Structure 1
Amino acid sequence: MIHKEPILHQRIRKIQGSFAWIPHFFLRNGFWSNLNHHELLLYLFLVLAADRQGVSYYSFDKICSLLGINTDEYILARNELIDKDLIAFDGHLFQVLSLPENFKPTVPQAISSKKKMMLRDPATIHQTIIGSLGNE
């Protein structure tokens, strides 16, 4: 077993004021490895912004600005976090949820048809929406 000692004893973290946390379960049980870069970024932001019940109320434009992502990236990340049962969103408020106990990491599957491309490829979906608005 590895003996762990702080490297800089004078800089040991202390909980002062508000405090955010992510349980080790998040890393050990595959949640971390099952999220893409934007999902991790948004999840970490929501954890840091949340109150003790996991609730926060930043607007999407403020979130995009702080995280350096565009609206499409934000929407995709938000929707994936909702689908993965990690957050709830009511249109105004976010809630970081307790981690689901029956979590099964998703395995990416090949997009093998035009129909699947239209349903699952973000770039194709974006292009379809822009095209339908007449902004090609």
Structure 2
Amino acid sequence: MANRLLSLALLPISWAVRYKMTSPEAPDGWYNSALTSWRGGWAMTLKRVLCPDRVRQIPMQFSWLDHRLVRERYIERCDPPAAALYLFLVTVADAQGLSYYSDAALGRCLSLTPARLSQARSDLMRIGLIAYQHPLYQVLSLDSSPRREGSELGADEISVRISQLRAVLGRTA
């Protein structure tokens, strides 16, 4: 009986050691892989850190949601869909902040249209809260100060701002 309890207590450790010994080694810069299913079958997804210098760490207050989101006004720069996407990504991310969800799954979970999801993702990238390379998301550590509003604007955002400026100046395009 005592041997059985001891073997059960060691089971997770034994499995982890066995897993590490039998799994193929990941390529350099890649640390994990997982099988992902969809209606058409299975696909292997390798996860890799997108921004190694910005891997998130547990803040002193022991929460994945860093208080600097409020104190440094990151949250004020997010509209509700962007804030919902950020909360979802923080919730599902692994220890390095990585996750991968399809646009369709995120849209279903957050009740967002594809266009609105794309805008929310772009907003979070512009603010500096996430990195994204299809299909991989990385929740980033917070910079010492939020990025300025005008830096790294996309072509669509620049076009919108030019249109707004022209409207204010009374010109038409």
Query: Smaller-chain TM-score range?
Result: 0.5 to 0.7
- With normalisation by structure 1, the TM-score equals 0.63
Stretches of structure 2 that go unaligned for 5 or more consecutive residues are 1-61, 151-160, 168-173
SS in 2 for 1:61: helix
Bigger radius of gyration, 1 or 2? 2
Q: Which residue of 2 aligns with 1:81?
A: 124
Aligned pair count reads: 95
What SS does structure 1 have at the residue aligned with 2:124?
helix
Counterpart position of 1:96: 139
Q: Which runs of 5+ in 1 are unaligned?
A: 1-18, 115-136
Name the residue aligned to 1:6: none
Q: Post-superposition, which runs of at least 4 consecutive aligned residues in structure 1 deviate over 6 A? A: none
1:46 aligns with 2:99: no
Q: Percent identity?
A: 33
TM-score by length of 2: 0.50
Displacement of 1:50 in angstroms is: 0.3
Equivalent residue for 1:59? Answer: 102
Higher strand fraction: Structure 1 or Structure 2? 2
Q: 1:70 to 1:60 in 2, by over 3 A?
A: same
The 3 A distance-change label for structure 1 pair 57 and 20 is: farther
SS of the residue 1:51 aligns to: coil
Amino acid at match of 1:23: D
